[in-house]
Structure 1
Amino acid sequence: MVESSYRTDFVRFSLDQGVLRFGQFKVKSGRLSPYFFNAGLFNSGLSVGRLAQFYAQALVDSGVSFDMLFGPAYKGIPLSTATSIALANHPGLNGLDVPFAYNRKEAKDHGEGGVLVGAPLRGKVVIIDDVITAGTSVRESVDIIRAAGAEPVAVLIALDRMERAGADDALSAHSAVQDVANTYGIPVVSIASLADIMGLLENDPQLAEHKDAVAAYRAKYGV
């Protein structure tokens, strides 16, 4: 699978699933965005299974050396689970059995207790999530992983919006993804990015009507 091809395939898959939509959307930052990406709409066995294959391919292609996955609650829980299955079935990994763990939002005071569920946090750990907005879940995950004596080595996400934060008159110098990479000294690997969305818009006549709006948004807020 050629890298640019699978990135474009993922954008098309997201469109087909209704996860990626074009129009006008008020996003968490308060901005009006010409596109919206809601990974929560990957909500069936078939769609999550395919999503996990894309995550696995992005991680393998990144060249990052890793021992296990960590999924921050809540979205990271099914993502870490499904991606570990996809990695086990990846043709290039010869049945590699990748452990995974995730955290609870609240500590459990019975049974095994604590905030961690799954395999013990050991070795080189990849944090897996849908997107990075403020980087809060990454910070919490890094703290949990380091407290366990393990090493966070990458963050794996579905889409990099390549977007600067802040008010229009005080935009940050970097995107949330760049800030995470700079703060923790680890790469952020994405299945696709805004650049891949733009690439599709430029090459698909059926989607051409959205190209100018997305390009203008990228010119204003992009990195």
Structure 2
Amino acid sequence: MVAAGGQDELAQDFVQFAVEAGVLRFGEFKTKAGRASPYFFNAGLFDDGAKLGRLAQFYALRILASRIEFDMLFGPAYKGIPLAAAVAVELARLGRNVPYAYNRKEAKDHGEGGLLVGAPLAGRVLIVDDVMSAGTAARESIALIRAAGATPHAVAIALDRQEMATEGGQDVPHSAVQYVRERLGLQVCAIARLADLLQYLGGQAGQPLGEHHARVLAYRQRYGVD
């Protein structure tokens, strides 16, 4: 998937898809950390069957290419729920049929009850989410998975922003993805990274999208981590 010159073709195709779908936008947006970001990625805007199906293809291809070993998928409420379901369907279409589960925000007190829905959590669990801002959602998922007797093994996300996380309102010298990898011990695979977005914008010189390259680069130079 990585062409000569280091270009990740899957990532480039994904960035273009996200831009065309209106999911990846440019302007000035306030992040959870209070930063003025020149771009915004909102996976909730993959809001029809065609977009969600295409998104699932990108996830499935990246997951399979990563060679991460896993036994089932888990989608954290709420955005992770349709993602895990769609990725499970696409993986099955590609010949890798695995069970999936997701959680509720509040325990159900009737019917089957409980916080978890879907297949019983067991074995090595791959968490499917959209982005990772501070690692908080990952920690919550890890606790649920472990409480069920399964092993939180890896996380798949759409976009790695490759920027410093915050703790107690202060910037820290690692990203949320690095925190999950190094402190929580989970593997992480991302369809695309901020570096891929910059590469895409750099190839749009002379086009309207190319005008955003300098601001996104400046943002990465100020807040970015490798």
Q: Same fold (TM over 0.5)?
A: yes
Contact 2:60 2:90 in 1 (8 A): yes
TM-score in terms of structure 1 length? 0.94
Unaligned stretches of 5+ residues in structure 2: none
- 1:166, CA displacement in angstroms? 3.5
SS at match of 1:134: coil
Aligned equivalent of 2:111: 111
Q: What is the distance in 1 between the residues matched to 2:96 and 2:157?
A: 21
Q: Provide, for residues 138-183 of structure 1, a one-character-per-residue CA deviation record: whole Å limited to 9, x for no partner.
A: 111111111111111101100000000339x952110111111112
User: Aligned match of 2:215 in 196, 213, 216?
Assistant: 213
Aligned equivalent of 2:200: 200
Q: Does 1:14 align with 2:18?
A: yes
Aligned residues: 218
Aligned equivalent of 1:179: 179
Q: Does 1:142 align with 2:146?
A: no
Q: What is the distance in 1 between the residues matched to 2:41 and 2:183?
A: 25
SS at match of 1:184: coil
AA aligned opposite 2:144: I
Pair 1:170–1:103, CA change in 2 (3 A): closer
Q: Provide, for residues 83-114 of structure 1, a one-character-per-residue CA deviation record: whole Å limited to 9, x for no partner.
A: 00010112xxxx22210000011111111111
User: Aligned match of 1:59 in 51, 63, 66?
Assistant: 63
SS at match of 1:154: strand
AA aligned opposite 2:223: Y
Unaligned stretches of 5+ residues in structure 1: none
Aligned equivalent of 1:161: 161
TM-score in terms of structure 2 length? 0.92
Aligned equivalent of 2:85: 81
Normalized per residue, the structure richer in strand is: 2
Q: What is the distance in 2 between the residues matched to 1:170 and 1:117?
A: 36
Q: What is the distance in 2 between the residues matched to 1:214 and 1:31?
A: 13
AA aligned opposite 1:173: P
Deviation >3 Å, runs of 4+: none
SS at match of 2:183: helix
Aligned equivalent of 1:99: 99
CA RMSD of aligned residues (A): 1.5
- 1:2, CA displacement in angstroms? 4.8
- 1:208, CA displacement in angstroms? 1.9
AA aligned opposite 1:105: K
